[in-house]
A and B are shown apart, each in its own frame.
Chain A
Amino acid sequence: MSSESKDASTEEAPTNAEHKRSPADFLKAVLGRPVNVRLNTGTDYKGVLACLDGYMNIAMEQTEEYVDGQLKSKYGDCFIRGNNVLYISSQKR
């Protein structure tokens, strides 16, 4: 078995292994793709995920800012400080 994409921690519990998806796997899958970033304040940022780091600091492109579901502004590039991030969701569509 090759060691790629397998964390040491995912080796036990073979029953769930095929469904397991660690945060690192998720991030690998959504890099460069459209995402929705939700802040603790409730503000949403939709855009293309350029990169991120261990603090969940995020760099996004073609970003749209939604407050209460309403488009408020657009940013070509933007940096979001990780402590404000509630979740990152993939945009399926």
Chain B
Amino acid sequence: MEEPLDLIKLSLSERVYIKCRNSRELRGTLHAYDQHLNMVLSQVEETITTIEEDEETGEEIVSKKTRNVGMLFVRGDIVVLVSPPLRTS
């Protein structure tokens, strides 16, 4: 591996995990990417985590919303981290 983007190249047609800005996470099959890290994914599961504060008790309420999308394009500038999930422990 000579440059970081090679790691993305090795993940083509594999399931990948993508951490985005604003607590958004995507898991899907990687079909294409470019140097900006714009990406095309299929069979995507999107998870958005929000933390709200209960007005009465002041408790933090963590809620996760997930939804499934058949095919989508991710704009590279929201990407924070990319990892092939099958190799995560």
Q: Give the B-binding residues of A (Cβ under 8 A).
A: 39, 41, 45, 50-53, 57-59, 63, 73-81, 83-84
Q: Is B81 touching A78 in the complex (CB atoms < 8 A)?
A: yes
Q: Which one of B5-13, B40-48, B54-62, B64-72 is at the A interface?
A: B5-13
Count contacts between A and B, CB distance < 8 Å. 65
Residues of chain A contacted by B5 (CB below 8 angstroms): 53, 57, 79
Residues of chain B contacted by A50 (CB below 8 angstroms): 1, 4, 7
What's the least CB distance linking B28 to chain A, in Å? 15
For B, the interface residue count at a CB cutoff of 8 angstroms equals: 21
Closest to A50 in B: B1
The interface centre, meaning the residue of B80, B82, B88 with most chain A CB atoms within 10 A of its CB, is: B80
Residues of chain A contacted by B76 (CB below 8 angstroms): 81
- B53 close to chain A: CB less than 8 A: no
A-B residue pairs in contact (CB < 8 Å), sample of 15: A41-B80, A59-B4, A63-B83, A73-B88, A75-B83, A75-B88, A76-B83, A77-B84, A78-B81, A78-B82, A79-B4, A79-B7, A80-B81, A81-B76, A81-B82
Q: Is A39 touching B80 in the complex (CB atoms < 8 A)?
A: yes
Q: Is A76 touching B87 in the complex (CB atoms < 8 A)?
A: yes
Rank and list the top 10 A-B pairs by shortest CB-CB distance, nearest first: A76-B87, A59-B4, A78-B83, A57-B4, A75-B83, A79-B82, A59-B7, A79-B7, A53-B3, A75-B88
